[in-house]
Structure 1
Amino acid sequence: MTEAQQQPLPLPSQSQQPTPPPTQKVPDVIRSFRPTKAFKSSKLDSSNYVTSLDFDDQGEYLVSSGDDDTIQIYDIKEGKSTKSVPSKKYGAHLARFTHHSRQVLHASTKVDDSLRLLDLHNEGYIRYFSGHTDKVTCLALSPGNDSFISCSKDDTVALWDLGSRNAQGKLNLSTPYLVAFDPSASVIAIASQSTSSILLYDFRNYDKAPFSTFDLAPYEERYTPSTRGRAWTRLEFSNDGKHVLVGTDYHGHFILDAFEGSVKAFLVGKNGSPGRAAPVSTTGKPLGQGDSRFSPDGRYVIGGSGDHTDVLVWDLQQSPDTNNILQPMCRLPHRSRTAVVEYNPRYNMFATADKETVFWLPEEGSRTEKQG
């Protein structure tokens, strides 16, 4: 299966859940995605928000965390919620599957700043990871092994292994609020908002100086002058390793050349903020993890439209204008705001969230002509 080829997704035969075509490529169906099922918060209180989403490696399960202090598990093939795990004492944010689909790692939002490894089978904790002295702002698991990295408001980046409660190493940096592994698991990128820079480290030699630094200050001056040094919400490599996405809260998103750090495109079309405080909360807004995401083939970015309810899709194979500004190729209609978005790594579906979690599938019979 090539990266551009996504598996069909067998879901129950329901009128609101159309069955995707037997063979799908992302370009064939990207315009036809529609919301098919919505899951409300576990509480009746409509003021609760979903703060993070993550699929397991096989794309069969989705985990969400929310400010109602619960972790929710969804079965993708069955199209239903299967488990709700309360975390009332410590709270939960940035819930992430490990490479084992029955284990979830998450950050705490109350009492302390530890990370916790949850066994979904018995709903008990396998291990705590202590060391941060302020809120964790980002978690990234290595695509190659059981290593993971956490960033914190305490101005440290910690490197861990799931098998040990003690950090394997630590970096002291200014506002290192976002981190990402490249697809080969050999490079880590750390975003430092206050210095407007992306630092690239050799993961095996993280204690050495970064081998490359991308200076985004000139680009911020050009594209996001009113939010310089802040409002970065997402850092992600494309699966083909060619691009880096730097998502922002308000103006749009940067697509960088992963080797040179130059801006290939600035993605516009958002209308304001999604109302989240990703990755750091200073105003009491709900937390988040950014509202933009690469598709698995690396060709598209999907994201929220800020105050509006549409989901935006940008095609990175389209040429930006002379100022490197790229408009959305299409808008997918929705009835609620998109503050968090994740694309399934194996199946042609994605999930969005704000106050509820929504599954998106291609409309039956709505295959578009293949692009490119």
Structure 2
Amino acid sequence: MALQQQKVHDVIKQYRPARQFPGSVRSDGGESHITSLDFDDMGDFLVAACDDDTMQVYDVKEGKRTKTIPSKKYGIHLARFTHHPRNVLFASTKQDDSLRLLELHNESFVRYFSAHTARVTCIALSPGSDQFLSCGSDDMVCLWDLNSRSPQGKLKLVTPYLAAYDPSANVMAIASQSTSSILMYDVRNFDKAPFATFDMAESEERYTPTTKGRAWTKLEFSNDGKSMLLGTDYHGHFVLDAFDGAVKSFLVGKTNGSGRAAPVSTSGKPLGQGDACFTQDGRYVVGGTGDQDLFVWDTLTATGGRQEPTTKLTSRGIKSVIVQCNPRYNMLATADTRVCMWLPGDQIKNPDL
């Protein structure tokens, strides 16, 4: 595919589906669901975890799927590239609750990481080192190094289901949904009390009163470090000031939930990782509509209240319940039962859609 690096604001309204990859059929005859998407640091490869216990790897520049790796014994969710482009870290969904580091070239396990006693709900890689965080429904947050099987530290918190590093790798945020708070920690003092706590209770009461304390699906810093995105499953998404936690805007427009489970759910819905993310420049948020198509919100026009979408991107009938922007190129990927790659219209050559 033709990939370019123009300024995002010049092309954001031109994104169109460029290539779609059919999913697989589960043993029960139903379509399998993609549960997570992640690009490598250079934006050259995309990895998708699927609830048929497979990992799918895509070459972004070639626009093709290059590998399907089974994990029938352990299951797979939250597949994440490390800074070593041929290594992928993922959470088990069967047998135990360990994390596993897989070398893609020979499809062999490099290391297991065992500490959680219940389902892992989030994996966050440090942008500056081999350190990473894992959150679990055992109310545990673990700090790890990829080179060691044992955690460097642990925190016991109340529903700490989502975590994120800021771009400097000095700060980590942990979202505790049942307490409606986001805890901010100095990475170097992981075992100390948070240096700030952002209380979301008042904002939830204002914008999401019927789902207060639940249905948080995504926590992410913008690449400029100025904002944080707190995604929710139905009503919309919060954009926060990353320094003081003030709500810059509440992104509205969704008509339905994504149909995916928040990090912890007993509904039986397929897993997901949230249906919204920042663009590479940190200015825009791209997210699902709750049906088909995509919304784009321009955070520079935030007024501190409800914010309507700036534009709507037509998906041609492809549902987008997981959304991820490429860190290097003007492209993004969405998924439900299929993976779809999006490009600005003038970059699409021989589209297959």
Quick check: 1:119 aligned with 2:100? Answer: no
Contact 1:314 / 1:327 at 8 angstroms: preserved in 2?
yes
For residues 290-369 of structure 1, the aligned pairs below 5 Å read 290-306=274-290, 308-320=291-303, 324-334=305-315, 335-364=317-346
CA distance in 2, matches of 1:121, 1:332: 36
1:165 to 141, 144, 149: 149
- Give the C-alpha shift of residue 279 in structure 1: 1.2
Q: Deviations over 1:246-281 (max 9, x none)?
A: 000000000011111110000000011010002112
Q: 1:26 touches 1:297 (CA, 8 Å); kept in 2?
A: yes
2:302 and 2:164 map into 1 onto residues whose CA distance is 26
Which of 239, 264, 276 lines up with 1:255 in the alignment? 239
Question: Structure 2 CA distance, aligned partners of 1:290 and 1:365?
Answer: 27
Quote the residue 1:33 is aligned against.
Answer: 15
What is the alpha-carbon distance in structure 1 between the residues aligned to residue 118 and residue 302 of structure 2? 42
Select the residue among 207, 217, 220 that pairs with 2:191: 207
| One-letter amino acid of the counterpart of residue 194, structure 1 | S
Matched position secondary structure for 1:194: helix
Q: Distance between the aligned counterparts of 1:193 and 1:318, measured in 2? A: 27
Alignment deviations for residues 126-183 of structure 1 (CA, whole Å, 9 cap, x no partner): 0000010000000000000000000000000000000000111000000000000000
- The alpha-carbon deviation at position 365 of structure 1 amounts to 7.7
Given that 1:85 and 1:123 are in contact with CA atoms closer than 8 Å, whether structure 2 keeps it comes out as yes
Partner of 1:24: 6
Looking at structure 2, the residues matched to 118 and 365 of structure 1 have their Cα atoms a distance apart, in angstroms, of 33
- TM-score, normalised on structure 2? 0.96
Alpha-carbon shift at residue 43 of structure 1 (Å): 3.2
Instruction: Identify if the C-alpha distance between structure 1 residues 208 and 319 changes in structure 2 by more than 3 Å, giving closer, same or farther.
Output: closer
CA RMSD between the two structures: 1.2
Sequence identity (%):
63
Shift of 1:46: 4.5
**Amino acid across the alignment from 2:312:** R
Q: 2:298 is aligned with what amino acid?
A: D
Query: 3-state DSSP class of the match of 2:346?
Result: coil
Hey, what does 2:351 align to over in structure 1?
none
1:224 paired with 2:205, answer no
Corresponding residue number in structure 1 for 2:256: 272
AA in 2 matched with 1:360: W
Provide runs of 4+ in structure 1 moved above 2 Å. 42-47
Aligned residue pairs: how many? 345
Aligned equivalents of 1:101, 1:365: Cα separation in 2: 25
Distance 1:279 1:23 in 2: 33
Contact 2:248 2:302 in 1 (8 A): no
Q: Which residue of structure 2 lines up, in the alignment, with residue 150 of structure 1?
A: 134
Do the aligned partners of residues 272 and 365 (structure 1) sit closer, same or farther apart at CA in structure 2, a change above 3 Å counting? same
Q: Which amino acid aligns with 1:340?
A: I
* Cα contact 2:43–2:326 (8 A) shared by 1: yes
Give the structure 1 partner of residue 165 of structure 2. Answer: 181
Query: How many angstroms apart in 2 are the aligned matches of 1:151 and 1:169?
Result: 12
What amino acid is the match of 2:275?
D
State the 1:337 CA deviation: 1.5
Per-residue CA distance 1:188-239 (angstroms, 9 max, x = gap)? 0000001000000000101000000000000000000000000000000001
Matched, 1:59 2:40: no
Distance in 2 (CA, whole Å) between partners of 1:58 and 1:43 is 31
Query: How far apart, CA to CA, are the structure 1 residues paired with 2:205 and 2:253?
Result: 19
Q: Is the 8 A contact 1:46 1:355 kept in 2?
A: no
- Measured after TM superposition, the shift of residue 41 of structure 1 is 1.6
1:319, distance to aligned residue in structure 2 (A): 3.8
Amino acid at match of 1:304: G
Give the TM-score normalised by the residue count of structure 1: 0.91
Q: Which runs of 5 or more residues in structure 1 are unaligned?
A: 1-10, 12-18, 367-372
In 1: Cα distance, 2:44 partner to 2:30 partner:
28
Q: C-alpha separation between the residues in 2 aligned to 1:35 and 1:56?
A: 21
Aligned-partner SS, 2:300:
coil
What SS does structure 1 have at the residue aligned with 2:178? coil
Provide the secondary structure at the position in 2 that maps to 1:24.
coil
User: Is the CA contact (8 Å cut-off) linking 1:131 and 1:167 kept in structure 2?
Assistant: yes
Contact 1:179–1:188, Cα closer than 8 Å, also in 2: yes
Structure 2: distance between partners of 1:43 and 1:188: 38
